[in-house]
Amino acid sequence: MSNLNDMMRVLGDYYTDAAILANRQTAHLVADGTNLLSLNEIPGVSIAAETRGEEIHAELIVREGVHIINPVHMCVGILAPDGAQIIRLRTRIERHASARLIAHCLFPNVVAARHVMNAELEMEEGAQLVYSEGHYHGMSGNTEVMPKARLRIGPGARYFSDFSLTSDRVGKLTLDYAVTVDEEAVAELTARVFGHATDQIRIRDEMYLNGKHARGLIKTRVAVDGRASSEVIGITHGNAEGARGHMDCMEIVREQAIATAEPIVKVTHPLAKITHEAAVGTVDQKQLETLMAHGLSPEQAVDMVITGMLR
Amino acid sequence: MALLEVRSLSFGIGNRTILDDLDFQIDRQEIHALLGSNGTGKSTLAQLIMGCSGYQPGAGKIIFDNQLINELPIYERARLGITMAWQEPARFEGVGVWDYVSLSKSDAEPAACLDRVGLDPALYVGRLLDKTLSGGERKRIELASVLALRPRLAILDEPASGIDMLSTGEIAGVILSLKREGSSVLLITHREEIARIADRASYLCKGKIIDTGPPDEIAEQYKSRACKVCDGVICR
Ligand SMILES: Nc1ncnc2c1ncn2[C@@H]1O[C@H](COP(=O)(O)OP(=O)(O)O)[C@@H](O)[C@H]1O
Ligand SMILES: [Mg+2]
């Protein structure tokens, strides 16, 4: 019942031109539940995947010195109304290689589903990765999604990630990232989530700035309405000379929703510096009034502020 | 017949009186400068006229085009044609400069409006209205958005603050062009050289308008701090 064409149609509906999966110059991996539907390797990019029992085990390697032009696409999720998907993904970006990786996580027909991603990423010296992960969970609110990642950003490497779940329902999201940043390396983690009704959002980002002059940013943008809840925990460790970290959390809370933000700073080296800012609360009154003075209704003004924040 | 009439307006915060039985009028297609020292209540008056939250008159009437607007929320006042450029304009994450200047339903071209306030439109197409703009850029964009709205009454709160002195003339030109296109302007400033482009000026001290007249006269009075009410105590 589930096949590649269905997945491509869904991909086209929610995200992007599905023709990317037909392009042989674009590396990809497509899986529906525990079924591997398609895999394409290109020179410099190795992808291996297999189903082991209830889990998909996958490995992605970008070879030393290779600069991948087309983003690598990983298209996962569950097309059936229910089911579970557990993915173990190991990724390695070898020395001085660079790539973009885009993950599409689609649950378009979901009534009740569970998705677990256990990712390990190794970025070798001087490597660069721009990673974006977009989720679509449908309208049921019965999706449980647990993205967990352990990342190591090697000396001089650069890693940028962007997690986005901003249309329709979230369900229950438990995001858990831990990043170790080596000497002269950079890591920036961004998460953008919009929760409604009874959605539950938990985001935990922990960053260890272990190398000299390591730099890290944790940026979180959450909006919640209805009776949704959001809990954001950001932890940054400054463990080396010249390490610089910043956490920037903004949560907009409306109706009966609740939100917490907990930035934790741990500095063990006197020449490290970590800063943080958190703004949790209703939509800023001056922003709303500015937009209303330009003729927007209160609803349109709220919408514009939230949409902008989550962009 | 005045476009805006403020009658016996009083407003306080806590038990402190900010505006005290104040009377004030703006005519149609008039640039009316409001001069006064820091903290005399100019921005407070602006927010009362716009209808910002927390700014309900304690007493008195605000009448726009013969309609009592005391009870109208800000967006209904905007629909009547009132708009305001805040002294410190708000910043927005993820909102494009272009989208912001295009909010008005008027036929004004965003590019032309940006150009008129001295910003090269090509440089702002992809820019956001966030912290990355300088203070002066943000103020200019606010003026551009007011131009695009084609308001009946534009309340400009210190439009030249944060803008380099050399560009003061440019900002004055924009304000004059607003009038040419049919707007009335409440020009709030504590700089007399800007007030001089107005048709009339009023001088605010101790919560009252103490004098209204030709801008040159009022500006001189302000400059010499010849205040009849506070005797130079506030108007230092
Ligand atoms: N929220 C507030 N709480 C207390 N005092 C305020 C508040 N807002 C303004 N004020 C006071 O009201 C007075 C008038 O302020 P404002 O209208 O901003 O003056 P101006 O624009 O003429 O410089 C000032 O003394 C200011 O400190
Ligand atoms: Mg002021």
How do residues A32-58 score in pLDDT, each as one tens digit? 999 999 999 999 999 999 999 999 999
Residue B136 falls within a domain, yes or no? no
Residue A187 falls within a domain, yes or no? yes
Distance, in Å, from the CA atom of B131 to the CA atom of B136, rounded to the nearest integer, reads 12
Structural domain of B204: 1-81+153-159+184-236
End-to-end alpha-carbon separation of chain B, Å? 35
| ipTM of predicted assembly, 2 dp | 0.96
For B85-132, the pLDDT digits (tens) are 999 999 999 999 999 999 987 888 999 999 999 999 999 999 999 999
Suggest the residue from B49, B64, B75, B142 to mutate for an interface test with chain A (most A CBs closer than 10 A).
B75
**Would you say residue B187 has pLDDT above 80?**
yes
Residue B39 falls within a domain, yes or no? yes
Structural domain of A94: 4-284
For A70-86, the pLDDT digits (tens) are 999 999 999 999 999 99
Q: For A283-294, what is the mean pLDDT?
A: 97
Residue A164 falls within a domain, yes or no? yes
β-pairing, A72-77 with A28-32? Answer: parallel
Any ligand 1 atom below 6 A from CB of B42: yes
Q: Which helix (H) or strand (E) holds A73?
A: strand A72-77
Tokens of B98: 């272009």
Q: For B29-36, what is the mean pLDDT?
A: 96
Residue A111 falls within a domain, yes or no? yes
β-pairing, A128-136 with A158-165? Answer: parallel
Domain count along chain A: 1
Q: If you write DSSP's letter for every residue of B81-110 in order, what string do you get?
A: TEEEE-SS----TT-BHHHHHT-SSS---H
Ligand nearest B88 Cα, by number?
2
Chain B residues inside the 8 Å CB shell of A294? 78, 83, 100, 103-104, 145, 149
Residue A116 falls within a domain, yes or no? yes
From the list A284, A292, A305, the residue facing B78 with the nearest CB is A292
Atom of ligand 1 nearest to the CA of B36: 22
Domain count along chain B: 1
Residue B213 falls within a domain, yes or no? yes
Q: State chain B's mean pLDDT as an integer.
A: 93
Minimum mean pLDDT range among A202-211, A263-272, B215-224: B215-224
Residue A221 falls within a domain, yes or no? yes
Q: If you write DSSP's letter for every residue of A212-279 in order, what string do you get?
A: TT-EEEEEEEEEE-TT-EEEEEEEEEE-STT-EEEEEEEEEE-TT-EEEEEEEEEE-STT-EEEEEEE
The confidence score (pLDDT) of residue B223 equals 83
Residue A265 falls within a domain, yes or no? yes
Q: For A156-174, what is the mean pLDDT?
A: 97
Residue A168 falls within a domain, yes or no? yes
The confidence score (pLDDT) of residue B236 equals 58
Any ligand 1 atom below 6 A from CB of B15: no
Residue B16 falls within a domain, yes or no? yes
**Would you say residue A7 has pLDDT above 80?**
no
Return the closest-CA partner of residue A149 out of A222, A220, A208, A90.
Answer: A90
Q: Say if residues B103 and A294 touch (Cβ distance below 8 Å).
A: yes
* pTM over cut 0.95: no
